[in-house]
Structure 1
């Protein structure tokens, strides 16, 4: 398996015509997939620093920098929004919710961008939508259970928010020790089969992250047979997607309930483990006591 330095080199050695901001965008997505938050923070800082330099040059020199900007795949304002969003995600993953909110506020209001084109304005409005969704997420993760129904209504209104929204809901439940069985039983069984059929990489990453949270949730509710199924489903997919950081936390989940697994499940587990050679402690989101 590639180590992280090899992954970094792979991204930054993209062909010369790919702009550094677009390389940074792809590298952050890779760091997100790997749960490598130290690297993700470094990349987010790089994106914001470079976008700021380009913006100042654009204000100073105007049309002289247009050829450089044309190398970008997206409008320059996008990279400001994405950089702020990336920083908010890093702080969110570290449990620093107040700092996450500060950066959410930054990409909720990008109206300071001068001489905005119609395309720029579309991006500004798009990031306002992201800010609303991620504001809900941070509030739930920080323990505001009273917003759960409102958030559920929100993600049902916007199809693109459903899968990441479910991850947030169960991550919040695991982090705050909530029992949300009523929602679990009414929503997950009917939606999970649909999610399993999604083929693009972004949705596959979301799908396996949801499986990870569902495994944790069912362990916390002491439904070990269900949890084991989610653990093995997750591992079967994650091993093909380089999701090794979460993969190892999931090994920890399985080992904690290994004596409860069927012979068939034990064999499946051993077959999956033949493909990896890593160790990591159990996810901090598992709050159940040690299971004997």
Structure 2
């Protein structure tokens, strides 16, 4: 077995080959010649800063000696967080998660390092080093699992956030795993976590869960709001910083509950919740951020009143709804509502589709790290094309209808939306007799691609629900 030379031996050999003195190398690397000499001739442990200087002076990649550094300065040396932590940050920075894992596995033998690793995980999370953050949170959570601590709950919240993406089955698993931890969080974190859980279940069309967690968010928000505005407690309990003004969680809970009721067909109860966020005269703040959100809820209340009436069967509001959405920048959700109503109540909306044809043609999915945008909008996009397919096929526009349906199937496959994939398959079967041979071939090819893409994923089965 070949013995790998130590870093200082590599440095010494380099100096000989390059014909450099320690002083000459020190000038090149920006190091004191005495430090260079001490590294080569002594037994001192090399610091991360010195390692950076050495690799720079030798014209090597910054992470060239990382594996050897772990052997010499972590495994074979007394553990010292002040010395090791800069190296861990370097591993994260250069995306050497393999090296990070080797060091962390050594540190985990001493549970006293968990708070330090948690702090490192938080820094990685804030700087969007997602793979490193997830690995650290998983290991801290494992170390904390018997403690039932708030830190464990935060780890699980972060892992939930990191797990959410376009794959709806994996999102379902992540949400289900996190549910039991949400109430262990500090109230401020809990408000955001309940909001995120409700949004994930909204994208999954799990309306009972949406209602449950939105309701809890609203109740907790109301308690906190009352505490903040109670003169006897106002100055005694400084609040952790929230991502939004406190009243927003109360109002947004009503919006989500209304959305859940509308989706389940209980439009009367939905209207009760809608009125809960339409009237926010009780809000005491008047800063610019508050005024912005008050305007947002006023706008949402107006447009969702139209939606509520439309989905209840009152098609007389359709012209006003269309005029209102014409002034909006993003209208895809509104178009989806129009198509949904058209299919449900057999309304001809061709004139509306023609009016907004440029926006439909030019529509592009929005790239975002926001949990709602990342999850909900791709699903809405797929649902829109499915509803468009249904509308067009029922009108006998088979060529365009099948084009929309294949588009919907592709999008549903991308996000692994099992129910929507099954609905696409069912709709195609209903109109299969009207499909030209080339459409049949294209549909079969698309369906096979969707199956291949998702067959390997745990818990996925085409046609299941």
TM-score after normalising by structure 1: 0.84
Residue in structure 2 matched with residue 105 of structure 1 by the alignment:
275
Residue in structure 2 matched with residue 119 of structure 1 by the alignment:
289
Residue in structure 1 matched with residue 302 of structure 2 by the alignment:
132
Q: Where do residues 239-258 of structure 1 align in structure 2 (5 Å cutoff)?
A: 239-258=413-432
Matched, 1:22 2:192: yes
The CA distance in 2 between the partners of 1:227 and 1:258, in whole Å, is 12
Conserved in 2, the CA contact under 8 Å of 1:104 and 1:135?
Answer: yes
The CA distance in 1 between the partners of 2:430 and 2:400, in whole Å, is 14
The CA distance in 1 between the partners of 2:210 and 2:430, in whole Å, is 30
Residue in structure 1 matched with residue 39 of structure 2 by the alignment:
none
Tell me how far 1:16 sits from its aligned partner.
Answer: 6.2
Matched, 1:183 2:352: yes
Segments of structure 1 that go 5 or more residues without pairing to the other structure are 282-292
Tell me how far 1:166 sits from its aligned partner.
Answer: 0.5
Q: Where do residues 63-212 of structure 1 align in structure 2 (5 Å cutoff)?
A: 63-68=235-240, 70=241, 72-160=242-330, 162-188=331-357, 190-196=358-364, 198-200=366-368, 201=374, 203-212=377-386
Call closer, same or farther: CA 1:104–1:16 in 2, change over 3 Å: closer
The CA distance in 2 between the partners of 1:62 and 1:114, in whole Å, is 14
What is the RMSD of the two structures over their aligned residues, measured on CA atoms? 2.6
Deviations 1:219-241 (A, max 9, x none): 33232332222122112122222
The CA distance in 2 between the partners of 1:233 and 1:12, in whole Å, is 37
Residue in structure 2 matched with residue 215 of structure 1 by the alignment:
389
Tell me how far 1:31 sits from its aligned partner.
Answer: 1.3
The CA distance in 2 between the partners of 1:9 and 1:24, in whole Å, is 14
The CA distance in 2 between the partners of 1:34 and 1:247, in whole Å, is 13
Segments of structure 2 that go 5 or more residues without pairing to the other structure are 1-168, 369-373, 455-459
Tell me how far 1:204 sits from its aligned partner.
Answer: 3.1
Residue in structure 2 matched with residue 267 of structure 1 by the alignment:
445
Call closer, same or farther: CA 1:139–1:207 in 2, change over 3 Å: same
Q: Which has the higher contact order (CA 8 A, sep 6+)?
A: 1
Conserved in 2, the CA contact under 8 Å of 1:12 and 1:23?
Answer: no
